[in-house]
Structure 1
Amino acid sequence: MNHPQIQFREHHHAEIDLDQLQNLFEIAAFWAKGRTIKDLSIAIANSKPVISVWDDTKLIGFARATSDGIYRATIWDVVIHPDYQGTGLGSKLVETVLSHPQMQVERVYLMTTYQQKFYEKIGFQTNNTTTMVLYNQANLSNMTTAEVQLSESLGA
């Protein structure tokens, strides 16, 4: 890929264009549709690193992570605009997140619905033994497990 105008940037809370990020999620991330600007702001404020990918002034990629700085970290919200998928930017984005000092931990986790092969190429392995989830949202409290799984698969 040879796009000299493509830039990777690390952000602090107030530096990211949340309108462009919300739009990118609507276009390219079924699992993030409907996220509000307020919620995005809170998530970013509690994440480090926060990495974005820009083609000139257009936001075309994003990822963030949370970490305790020594034992565990989790990568969240990896997304590349559809027009740029398949160009290597997604791999470079994840590698950029992984190279951050906050990510130098024993284990890095992530969750994915359909992109297992993509992450395996970067070195991630499927782990069926340690992952559990607590659905801690009021609107999910009366749903069955099957309803919750269907809701997640539809990006609700």
Structure 2
Amino acid sequence: MKIEYKINEPVSTDQFIELLKDSTLGERRPVDNRECMSGMISNSNLIVSAWHEGQLVGIARSVTDFHYACYLSDLAVSQNFQKLGIGKQLLSLTQAQLGPECKLILIAAPAANAYYEHIGFTHNPRCWVLDRS
């Protein structure tokens, strides 16, 4: 199976929503709020994507300064393409775009904690979230 990886390739809102739904990440994202989803994809400044025969099958969507910190907002791989190394390749290509001192930071879904630890991430319990009232 040939997977093509692309850096900052345009991804439509519909493609993004469908991938999130198909990866189960859609359960934790506002996929029914099209304006929000459009803003999420269009305002990311680093997108690494995986494509199979023209279909978006994986994405690493980040916001970064490229030198100190890179917040990986979404790492999603279509369920039919999981366990093929696509997620690891998306992470590797994301890191390749960053400066040598830039940290990759993410908030993992509870079910994904073991995955991130397995691939070398260090757990840091100091994350704080301020929701809008």
* Short-chain TM bin: 0.7 to 0.9
1:122 deviates by 2.5
- Which letter does structure 2 place at the counterpart of 1:131? C
- Which letter does structure 2 place at the counterpart of 1:62? I
Q: Percent identity of the aligned residues?
A: 24
- Which letter does structure 2 place at the counterpart of 1:21? F
More helix by share: 1
Structure 2: tracts of 5 or more residues without a match? none
User: Among residues 70, 73, 77, which one is paired with 1:73 in the alignment?
Assistant: 70
Residues of 1 paired with 2:30 and 2:74: CA distance? 12
- Which letter does structure 2 place at the counterpart of 1:135? D
User: Among residues 81, 94, 106, which one is paired with 1:110 in the alignment?
Assistant: 106
- Which letter does structure 1 place at the counterpart of 2:28? W
Q: In angstroms, what is the RMSD of aligned CA positions?
A: 1.9
Equivalent position SS for 2:124: coil
Matched positions, count? 130
1:19 deviates by 1.2
Give per-residue Cα distances to partners, 1:59-81, cap 9 Å, x unaligned: 11111111123222210111000
Equivalence for 1:26: 21
Are the equivalent residues in 1 in contact too, given 2:51–2:58 (CA < 8 A)?
A: yes
After TM superposition, where is structure 1 displaced by more than 4 Å over at least 4 residues in a row? none
Are the equivalent residues in 2 in contact too, given 1:25–1:33 (CA < 8 A)?
A: no
- Which letter does structure 2 place at the counterpart of 1:48? N
User: Among residues 10, 35, 38, which one is paired with 1:38 in the alignment?
Assistant: 35
Give per-residue Cα distances to partners, 1:30-61, cap 9 Å, x unaligned: 21252534323322232221111111111111
Residues of 1 paired with 2:102 and 2:33: CA distance? 33
Aligned pairs (5 A) from 1:4-153: 4=2, 6-11=3-8, 15-28=10-23, 29=25, 30-101=27-98, 104-113=100-109, 114-128=111-125, 130-136=126-132, 141=133
Structure 1: tracts of 5 or more residues without a match? 142-156
Are the equivalent residues in 2 in contact too, given 1:60–1:80 (CA < 8 A)?
A: yes
Residues of 1 paired with 2:32 and 2:7: CA distance? 21
Give per-residue Cα distances to partners, 1:100-135, cap 9 Å, x unaligned: 13x54442210112212211232211111x211101
Equivalent position SS for 1:134: coil
Structure possessing the higher radius of gyration over alpha carbons: 1
